[in-house]
């Protein structure tokens, strides 16, 4: 029973990390209808910026701030320099450009930091919690707290503020939002800032949780999170988070606990195929 509960805790943590990674994809798709594969490049850059700043300053908080600012600039740069000129073309054109940005970022990280796995030895300023014989480590607790805080903040922004109302209007119809006087370019920029900041925190949390940062750390998440947002419903924030938790739990319980011989990284795609065959719009209706 203890092993099962431990795997449940790990599954929730992994699902939470997937959830953080999918939020940016979901936000961008909701606004631009673009599959933002380059989001994984922002996530990788966030991990490296956080690690580099931590090594230089010894402050994890400063590392998170620098990573969020740097990744926000990177995300806005991708939107302005890559996506904006390509919006008049079919959707597969920005998608190919997005993949090119991901591959290019991997090479830049390899040139700047080397091709090797780097340790992220930061100590999270949180205590470990004992639940009987179970121990919730500080990195695990940090994943729970940061994910919950981000989800709560994002829900408040989207559902309770004028900015969120404008974001929902742009997601519903950009021409109509323009006609109503909404600055759609500003809303798109803010969306990329939000998504990229979350990606930066996700990169840092993954680096600390697994104690490793490397140039291709975004390769598998780039496509796995794409499958997850399809499962949850394209553009649906709630659906992407729930689908992320389900995939994380499935990976730990089916493979780690039950020892079912399934390829871990292919599980999200298997779920995507099954859901599409059963319900083409995903578990939750796309928005």
Asked if residue 142 is part of any domain, the answer here is yes
pTM over 0.75: yes
Report how many domains make up the chain.
1
CB 167 within 8 A of CB 187: yes
Asked if residue 100 is part of any domain, the answer here is yes
CB 251 within 8 A of CB 264: yes
- Average pLDDT along the chain: 91
Residue ranges making up the domain that contains 124: 23-217
Asked if residue 82 is part of any domain, the answer here is yes
| Residue linked to tokens 């969306």 | 191
Q: How sure is the predictor about 234, in pLDDT bands with cuts at 50, 70 and 90?
A: confident
| % of the chain beyond a pLDDT of 90 | 71
**What tokens were used for 233?**
């419903």
Which pLDDT belongs to residue 209?
94
Buried/exposed 16-32: b ≥16 CB within 10 Å, e otherwise: bbbbbbbbbbbbbbbbb
| Bridge partners for 213 per DSSP | 118
Asked if residue 194 is part of any domain, the answer here is yes
CB 131 within 8 A of CB 140: no
Name the DSSP letter for residue 285: -
Asked if residue 62 is part of any domain, the answer here is yes
| Residue linked to tokens 């209808």 | 33
Asked if residue 281 is part of any domain, the answer here is no
Per-residue model confidence as pLDDT tens digits over 148-193: 999 999 999 999 999 999 999 999 999 999 998 999 999 999 999 9
Q: How far is CA 44 from CA 19, 104, 262, in A?
A: 16, 12, 27
Query: Mean pLDDT, to the nearest integer, of 229-250?
Result: 91
Enumerate long-range contacts of 247-250, CB under 8 Å, 24 or more apart.
Answer: 247/15, 247/18, 247/271, 248/11, 248/12, 248/13, 248/14, 248/15, 248/16, 248/17, 248/18, 249/8, 249/11, 249/12, 249/15, 250/11
Backbone angles phi, psi at 280, to 5 degrees: -60, -30
277 has a pLDDT exceeding 60: yes
Asked if residue 262 is part of any domain, the answer here is no
Element (H, E) at 131: strand 129-131
Which pLDDT belongs to residue 264?
75
Asked if residue 149 is part of any domain, the answer here is yes
The C-alpha atoms of residue 41 and residue 75 are separated, in whole angstroms, by 9
| Residue linked to tokens 């997005």 | 98
């Amino acid at each position: 029973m203890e092993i099962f509960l431990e795997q449940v805790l790990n599954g929730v943590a992994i699902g939470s990390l997937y959830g953080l990674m999918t939020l940016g994809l979901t936000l961008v798709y909701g606004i631009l209808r673009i599959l933002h594969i380059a989001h994984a490049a922002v996530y990788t850059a966030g991990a490296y910026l956080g690690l580099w700043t931590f090594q230089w300053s010894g402050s994890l908080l400063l590392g998170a701030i620098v990573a969020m600012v740097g990744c926000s600039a990177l995300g806005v740069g991708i939107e302005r320099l890559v996506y904006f000129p390509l919006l008049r073309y079919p959707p597969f054109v920005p998608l190919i450009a997005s993949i090119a940005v991901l591959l290019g970022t991997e090479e830049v990280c390899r040139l700047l930091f080397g091709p090797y796995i780097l340790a992220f030895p930061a100590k999270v300023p949180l205590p470990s919690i004992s639940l009987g014989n179970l121990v919730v480590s500080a990195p695990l607790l940090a994943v729970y707290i940061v994910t919950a805080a981000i989800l709560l903040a994002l829900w408040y922004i989207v559902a309770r503020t004028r900015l969120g109302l404008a974001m929902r209007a742009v997601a519903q119809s950009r021409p109509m939002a323009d006609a109503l006087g909404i600055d759609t370019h500003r809303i798109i920029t803010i969306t990329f800032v939000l998504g990229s900041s979350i990606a930066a925190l996700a990169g840092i949390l993954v680096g600390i949780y697994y104690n490793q940062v490397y140039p291709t750390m975004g390769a598998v998440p780039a496509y796995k999170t794409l499958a997850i947002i399809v499962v949850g419903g394209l553009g649906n924030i709630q659906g992407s988070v729930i689908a992320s938790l389900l995939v994380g739990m499935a990976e730990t319980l089916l493979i780690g606990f039950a020892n079912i011989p399934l390829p871990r990284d292919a599980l999200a795609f298997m779920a995507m195929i099954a859901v599409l065959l059963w319900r083409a719009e995903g578990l939750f209706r796309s928005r």
